[in-house]
Structure 1
Amino acid sequence: MTEEALGGVYVHLPFCPYICPYCDFAKWPLRRSDALRYLTALHREIAATERRPAENIFLGGGTPNAYDAPAIVDLLVRLRERFPAVDSACEVTIEVNPDAVRPGDIEAYARAGINRLSIGVQSFREVESRAIGRRHTNADVERCVRDARAVGIGSISVDLIFALPGQSEADWIESLDAAIALGVDHCSTYGLTIETGTPFERLYAKAPERFADEDLEARLYEIAMDRLGAAGFEQYEISNFARPGHASRHNANYWRNGSYLGLGVGAASYLAGERSTATRSLAQYMEAIERGEPAPRERERLVGLARLGEAMMLALRTAQGVDASAFNQRYGIDPLATYASTIAGFIEAGVLERSDEHLRLTRRGRLLANTVCGAFVTIE
């Protein structure tokens, strides 16, 4: 292949059988007419996109499996024709809501080339699941994992949320231990974020005492690091833990500032140094594609210290951290010299550590990652 390869392709499938009160992603309640119209527009966008090989394809949402398996299989055929695999290790992921998985779905996914399943669990305590609007049972999750193993899907991930309303340390341990016991290969853990415009924002305004404070959230995060680490998971990024060989190529590409193409409403791209995000208006997206035009996009091209600061922020989130030599080769600057005073202050504070040409967050630094990493983005 002579085309320049993409680090990844992200495809947004925005419809959900129900809407969770904490979520602020681009999503809409599932309506058949809208879903079919959107899928037709997405097919047209794919067909109009330049053919390039890709290292990974990720179907996210929303709830991708709100569409039936034949629709997903057809979509993957179109994607693989337009974005052929770079190599045999090409990762193809679909996010699923476990209670929306139908009999035969996962087998169909595997036959279509999906080799990684990301299951939106959020909590293995069903009382917590109901409190955050989720309807699946633990039996639904177990069936997904069992079916995926049976058809040879090689990597299975679960998403979990901590600092949920009323969640205790014991509650969080219960969810982590359930994930470990299932034998999954990858676990993404996210502290609950109160997003603007969501029902949880209104709940927080009325009863903030129901939510975890910063100290409890930090303890819960440390429990995740310890529990998953003891079970053989490697923390390769702030929020992501994987058994050896199961780190997500989709995730890793993002954190190393690799190229990616986003298709669909609200999808983000990073191509040739430009970041862009498609409109989050479902109507605007579909109408533009139906007119034969590209979807409206907001665009930003970072230059100078803004570009370098973002690269520092992304790299520091990973276990590898900043490799100064590689950074200098790619961006034409020595980060250790450019940010010397900031780095020295963080090392003295115990949140960064330096080993030769490498700079990494310490364990304490991981607890304060947003502050530490964000400092490089705001440096002028």
Structure 2
Amino acid sequence: MKSAYIHIPFCEHICHYCDFNKYFIQSQPVDEYLNSLEKEMINTIERTGRPDLRTIFIGGGTPTSLSPDQLEKLMDSIHRVLKPSDGLIEFAAEANPDDLSPEKLKIMKNAGVNRLSFGVQTFEDELLQKIGRVHKQKDVFTSFERARALGFDNISLDLMFGLPGQTLADLDNSVKTALSLDAEHYSVYSLIVEPKTVFYNLMQKGRLHLPAQEQEAEMYETVMRQMSEAGIRQYEISNFAKPGYESQHNLTYWSNEAYFGFGAGAHGYISGTRTVNAGPVKHYIQLIEEKGLPYRDTHEVTREEQIEEEMFLGLRKMSGVQKQAFLDKFGRSVDELFPDVLKDLTEKGLICDTEESVALTHEGKLLGNEVFGAFLGEL
């Protein structure tokens, strides 16, 4: 096991588009949750053996919504239980620009966190308000400068496009502003309206006005062009980085490798079994107390599912699926298993199929879901 994801399901506020497992931090049993999180890590490792972790990622929710004492407690638990060693190459944490105090930054730095992911979304203050964010553009600059001053030299900025009322000029300005900060990594996602969100409810009432599909495609092409012109390489369908700063933790997912998922609502992939933890905080804590582990669901992944996942996850990477590595892993070739799909997608101009690999074309990036979906159920 090379990677561990740790979920902190607390937020100071709830964004209108977010469907992650999250709760207002006020009146939540945060300290009790952190105790249960440590117990989950201990009990999992007793079952699986001590991992030699290469990556740790703390996500949410908002990890930086924890108080300094709680953040310190979390970091102590990680070191005491997971015992990250010299083999750990990436220790990442998500952070909100408006609650990233110098004290919290120092706690993370002292604990060995070496990568920060800032939830920026847009540099347009009016748009930030529309999507339920409470930070302002100036907060991003302040937090970024603080992090740089403390020696953080691997920072990622998250941006979104296809937002309600967002224009191409808005996006162009946001990307240019993000690039002016000279971060090492950029994640740029299109808005997906998910059930159980504020935006979903507005859409059901006909009150959510989103850019047209053609305009959204133009926005994505604009992002790709701006990143390329700035020398920031696209290595995954939504991710761009300076050479050597690709997200090693996320590459675990896209390479279909195993990982721990700790915390309420977290997903894991352990020894061929996908696990889903209970989401509600009190239910999560109760399961830890009663059963030692908080699984709401487990699924043993069949060989056919593993192969299909290898294709649609691997194709998210610009390097695509390497045919020799696929053959070594599964004992059968991509060409043997998916001849009709490969032929069809090649004829449509959505993939480039060579002797060495299968990868998305430019057109394929724009229609990624069509490509990924083509491999599902084929076996």
TM range (shorter): over 0.9
Once residues 189 and 100 of structure 1 are traced to their aligned partners in structure 2, the CA distance between those partners, rounded to angstroms, is: 22
Residue 48 of structure 1 and its aligned partner are, at CA, apart by 2.3
Match of 1:280 in 2: 279
Matched, 1:357 2:352: no
Flag structure 2 segments of 5+ consecutive residues without an equivalent: none
1:45 aligns with 2:44: no
CA 1:163 to 1:265, structure 2 compared with 1: closer, same or farther past 3 Å? same
Question: Distance in 1 between the 2:54 and 2:208 partners?
Answer: 45
Question: Structure 1 CA distance, aligned partners of 2:121 and 2:208?
Answer: 21
The alpha-carbon deviation at position 148 of structure 1 amounts to 1.3
What SS is found at the alignment partner of 1:259? Answer: coil
Structure-2 separation of matches of 1:251 and 1:83: 19
Shift of 1:281: 2.3
Q: Structure 2 CA distance, aligned partners of 1:379 and 1:88?
A: 38
- Counterpart of 2:233 in structure 1: which amino acid? E
Shift of 1:208: 6.1
Cα distance in 2, alignment partners of residues 346 and 20 from structure 1: 37
* CA displacement, residues 296-344 of structure 1 (integer Å, 9 cap, x when unaligned): 3311122232221111001011011011110011112101221111101
| Structure 1 counterpart SS, 2:285 | helix
Displacement, 1:371?
Answer: 1.0
Q: Is the CA contact 2:7–2:58 (under 8 Å) kept in the aligned structure 1?
A: yes
Give the residue type in structure 1 aligned to 2:132. Answer: G
CA distance in 2, matches of 1:14, 1:254: 20
Aligned-residue offset at 1:242: 0.7
Amino acid aligned to 1:359? V
More off after superposition, 148-157 vs 32-41: 32-41
* One-letter code aligned to 2:11: C
Q: Which moved more, 1:28-37 or 1:194-203?
A: 28-37
Asked whether the 8 Å contact 1:52–1:82 carries over to 2, the reply is no
**Do the aligned residues in 2 keep the contact of 1:69 with 1:109 (CA within 8 Å)?**
no
In structure 2, give the amino acid aligned to 1:10.
Y
For residues 131 and 331 of structure 1, the distance between their equivalents in structure 2, rounded to whole angstroms, comes to 47
Q: 1:164-243 maps to which residues of 2 (within 5 A)?
A: 164-207=163-206, 210-243=209-242
Task: State whether structure 2 residue 338 is matched by structure 1 residue 343.
Answer: no
Answer yes or no: is 1:8 the counterpart of 2:7: no
Match of 1:21 among 16, 31, 52: 16
> Partner of 2:224: helix, strand, or coil?
helix
1:314 lines up with 2:313 in the alignment: yes
Q: Is the 8 A contact 1:56 1:250 kept in 2?
A: yes
Task: Indicate whether 1:323 and 2:318 are aligned.
Answer: no
2:199–2:208 CA contact under 8 A, matched in 1: no
1:162-184, CA deviations, whole angstroms, 9 ceiling, x for partnerless residues? 00001111111111111100111
Structure 1 residues 55-64 or 288-297, which shifts more?
A: 288-297
In structure 2, distance between residues paired with 1:209 and 1:101: 31
User: Would the aligned equivalents of 2:38 and 2:81 in 1 still touch at CA under 8 Å?
Assistant: no
* 1:36 aligned partner: 31
- Measured after TM superposition, the shift of residue 56 of structure 1 is 0.7
Distance in 1 (CA, whole Å) between partners of 2:261 and 2:363 is 34
The separation in 2 between residues aligned to 1:371 and 1:80, in whole angstroms, is 42
* Alignment match, 1:247: 246
C-alpha spacing 1:111/1:172, structure 2 compared with 1 (3 Å): same
CA apart distance, 1:72 = 1.9
TM-score, normalization by structure 1: 0.95
Greater CA drift, 81-90 or 323-332: 81-90
Alpha-carbon distance, 1:71 to partner = 2.2
Distance 2:111 2:377 in 1: 44
Q: 1:136 corresponds to which residue?
A: 135
Measured against aligned partners, the alpha-carbon deviations of 1:214-249 in whole angstroms (never above 9, x if no partner) come to 211111111111111111111111111111111011
Rounded to whole Å, the distance in 1 between the matches of 2:112 and 2:133 is 28
Q: Provide the C-alpha distance between the structure 2 equivalents of 1:276 and 1:16, rounded to a whole number of angstroms.
A: 24
Unaligned regions of 5+ residues in structure 1, if any?
A: 1-5
User: For the Cα contact (< 8 Å) 2:342–2:353, is it kept in 1?
Assistant: no
Deviations 1:95-127 (A, max 9, x none): 011111123221221111010000001111010
Higher mean Cα deviation, 245-254 or 287-296? 287-296
Contact 1:204 1:211 in 2 (8 A): no
In structure 1, what is the equivalent of residue 80 of structure 2?
81
**Which digits, 9 at most, give the CA deviation of each residue in 1:69-113, with x for residues without a partner?**
332233223213332335455211110111111232212211110
Alignment partner of 2:102: what SS? Answer: coil
Pairwise CA distance, 1:41 = 1.3
**Could you say which residue in structure 1 is the equivalent of 2:64?**
65
Instruction: State the Cα distance separating 1:33 from its structure 2 match.
Output: 4.5
How many Å separate the matches in 2 of 1:376 and 1:323? 16
CA–CA separation in structure 2 for the residues paired with 1:298 and 1:13? 19
Contact 2:39–2:292 under 8 Å retained in 1: no
Change over 3 Å in CA distance of 1:166–1:52 after alignment to 2: same
Quote how far apart the aligned CAs of 1:161 are. Answer: 0.9
Mapped to 2, the partners of 1:114 and 1:52 lie a distance apart of 18
**Partner Cα distance (1:57, 1:305) in 2:** 29
What SS class does the counterpart of residue 375 from structure 2 fall into? helix
Normalization by structure 2: what TM-score? 0.95
- Of all paired residues, the percent bearing the same amino acid is 36
Q: How many residues are treated as equivalent by the alignment?
A: 375
CA contact (8 A) 1:26 1:280 kept: yes
Q: Deviations over 1:188-212 (max 9, x none)?
A: 1111011112110121122367112
Task: Name the SS of the counterpart of 2:128 in structure 1.
Answer: helix
- Give me the whole-angstrom Cα distance separating, in 1, the residues matched to 2:235 and 2:56: 20
CA contact (8 A) 2:184 2:245 kept: yes
